[in-house]
Amino acid sequence: MRKWTRNCCVCLTLIVISFFNPIVLADNTESKLQWFRDDKFGLFIHWGPSSIMGVEISWARQDHPYDHPGNGPFVPNEMYDLLYRSFNPVKFDADQWMKLAKEAGFRYVVFTSKHHDGFSMWHTKLRDYNIANTPFERDICRELADAAHKYGLKLGWYYSTRDWSHPDYLVGDNKKYNDFYEGQIRELLTNYGKVDIMWFDHAAGKWRDYTFERLFDMMYSLQGENLLVNNRAARFVKGAKDSPPSQAIQDLVRGDYDTPEQKIGKFQTDRAWESCMTMTKVDGGGWSYRPDGTTISYKETLQTLVHTVTGDGNLLLNVGPLPTGEFPADQVDILKKVGQWLKKHGESIYGTRGGPLPNGKWGGMTQKGNRIYVHILEWPQDGSPLLLGALDKEIISSKGLNVTGPDVKQTSEGIEIKLSAENRAEVDSIIVLNTK
């Protein structure tokens, strides 16, 4: 057979085969999530001109077009939208932030490039309402991205699609706004080196108002298919009845992981998740600097991390910097303590998966290879041993990771753990089970 005829035959055969067996692209979700599942702990930073007044970022602005009205107290738009003119965080030092993040045991950082108020923390060419036009002038996103890269932290951009001050937002067919916000994302994914996460935060309007396929194509073409995207690119978009999104679009915007907010997610091992939670507790937020809020304790911070990780999730823990550019001092102290703990006991957190038994109020388990780490946060009040469910693996040996003298018994009904009260750890007693 002449070469071209043979080639034609091969082509035809391939066409016929693929017609009957449509090529299914390999789902790379799990492999691209590997670092995320291993790294567990991210630093969330909410920051912007609202910190000057110590009010909640965006939500303190009087008007929230197309959105929940919020609960106030409010700042009139005219005043809120001019705060940037006096934003001058002279003590901002991205290097110091990222150094602290590293010391605290964070492995990635997600920063509010633009919140719902529409202010951009980088030198965007697409809108004047940005950091270049403040007395500070410097490109905060650039400095942060560089410092994160320097310290080996993965980088994520928080980007709010909802934009309460943009004149084109949801006007007409929304084309102008789509071009604008997709253009902004193009800048963020082009000019700041490697970006690992796009962290969206809600939108309003209807499905027909958006061009999500174009957006995702662009993001993957700029940063590669391994870019992780959370599940909020189209969260709260409505109108599925008159303009239903295709299955492909629904799959895209579902993103790579779930994002329970201000609560610890439920035990879930078949889809990745990340709880985002604030260190500042105050009514109506606490994401940005709120001097009227209270800070969670070291114990609560660590317990939150352990409850999350034993549930097979990640924790994105939020700090709201001061208008000076500094982190709240009490939060820095707590984060450093968490870092010290992780330095000693990080093997029971990083690179593990939650389970095998589901977690509960008492604590939970993490696992790595043949090892199970039992994290005990609460012992039975009456002094009786802790009883856990049955494992389908045989325990060969056990020992305390940060405690001495635990007594572990495995029966067909379950596991029984005893540890005298004086030998228990301050927050989390970790017991290692080596299994067959």
Residues lying near ligand GLC in the complex (CB under 6 A): 46, 58, 201-202, 261, 276, 287
Q: Which is nearer to ligand GLC, 107 or 115 (CB)?
A: 115
Beta carbon of residue 265, minimum distance to ligand GLC (angstroms, whole number): 13
Closest CA to 57 of 280, 288, 277: 288
Rounded distance between C-alpha atoms, residue 243 and residue 105, angstroms: 45
Beta carbon of residue 117, minimum distance to ligand GLC (angstroms, whole number): 10
Pair 350, 36: CB distance under 8 Å: no
Q: How many helices (DSSP H) and strands (DSSP E) are in the chain?
A: 10, 17
Q: Which is nearer to ligand GLC, 43 or 433 (CB)?
A: 43
Question: Hey, is 206 helix, strand or coil?
Answer: strand
Question: Hey, is 158 helix, strand or coil?
Answer: strand
Pair 331, 95: CB distance under 8 Å: no
Q: Which is nearer to ligand GLC, 58 or 161 (CB)?
A: 58
Helices in 346-422 by DSSP H: which ranges? Answer: none
Beta carbon of residue 163, minimum distance to ligand GLC (angstroms, whole number): 13
Rounded distance between C-alpha atoms, residue 245 and residue 162, angstroms: 19
Using a CB cutoff of 8 Å and minimum separation of 24, what contacts does 165-168 make? 165/61, 165/77, 165/81, 165/117, 165/118, 165/119, 165/129, 166/118, 166/127
Beta carbon of residue 276, minimum distance to ligand GLC (angstroms, whole number): 5
Beta carbon of residue 184, minimum distance to ligand GLC (angstroms, whole number): 17
Beta carbon of residue 262, minimum distance to ligand GLC (angstroms, whole number): 8
Going by DSSP bridges, is the β-strand pair 363-368/353-354 parallel, antiparallel, or unpaired? antiparallel
Q: Which is nearer to ligand GLC, 45 or 431 (CB)?
A: 45
Q: Residue with CB nearest ligand GLC?
A: 276
Q: Which is nearer to ligand GLC, 46 or 154 (CB)?
A: 46
Q: Which is nearer to ligand GLC, 98 or 276 (CB)?
A: 276
